[in-house]
Amino acid sequence: MAFKRMEGFVGSIPQKFADNRIPKCPMCGTDNPHWSIDERMGKMFTLNPEDNAHKYLFKCEQCGCILRVPVTDVMGTGRSVLSWQGLAKKVHGKETKSIYVAIENVGNAQSNQEYKEKEMTLEEINALAQQLNK
Ligand SMILES: [Zn+2]
């Protein structure tokens, strides 16, 4: 799949998640990241929950950075301990109520290289974006 804006009913959940929950790009600070979306299916036959989780990728139109969020977090099921994903988080010492966002690609700003593959909560991502204050 290639990055694109998701319109219509099926795509509206991840699109709304990106547009509403991450209104400002944490890498370049733009107020108009105009997130485009790609999906990455989880690998089968792996016991690592990070590898087998189905992820959404959000790409900033301004700087090209890519954020990665588990589909279960976007849909909300990852926040319950009763779900497999929620349980996997619990086992890995993560807070099940939080949404975790990983920075897959830092985009144009190479000075952000230290953030590559860092995983943060949604709150931390938004705090980072606010610091940029553009
Ligand atoms: Zn950006």
Radius of gyration of the chain (CA): 14
Q: What is the pLDDT of residue 73?
A: 87
Q: What is the pLDDT of residue 98?
A: 83
Quote the ligand 1 centre to 35 CA distance (angstroms). Answer: 9
Contact present, 70 and 55 (Cβ < 8 Å)? yes
Quote the ligand 1 centre to 25 CA distance (angstroms). Answer: 5
Q: What is the pLDDT of residue 61?
A: 97
Quote the ligand 1 centre to 92 CA distance (angstroms). Answer: 29
Q: What pTM does this model have?
A: 0.81
Matching residue, tokens 């619990």 = 90
Q: Is 25 exposed, middle or buried (0-12, 13-18, 19+ CB in 10 A)?
A: buried
Task: List, for the chain, all residue ranges whose pLDDT scores fall below the cut of 50.
Answer: none
Contact present, 57 and 38 (Cβ < 8 Å)? yes
Q: What is the pLDDT of residue 9?
A: 66
Q: What is the pLDDT of residue 48?
A: 72
Q: In degrees rounded to 5, what are phi and psi of residue 36?
A: -105, 160
Quote the ligand 1 centre to 93 CA distance (angstroms). Answer: 30
> How crowded is residue 113: how many other Cβ atoms within 10 Å of its Cβ?
8
> How crowded is residue 59: how many other Cβ atoms within 10 Å of its Cβ?
23
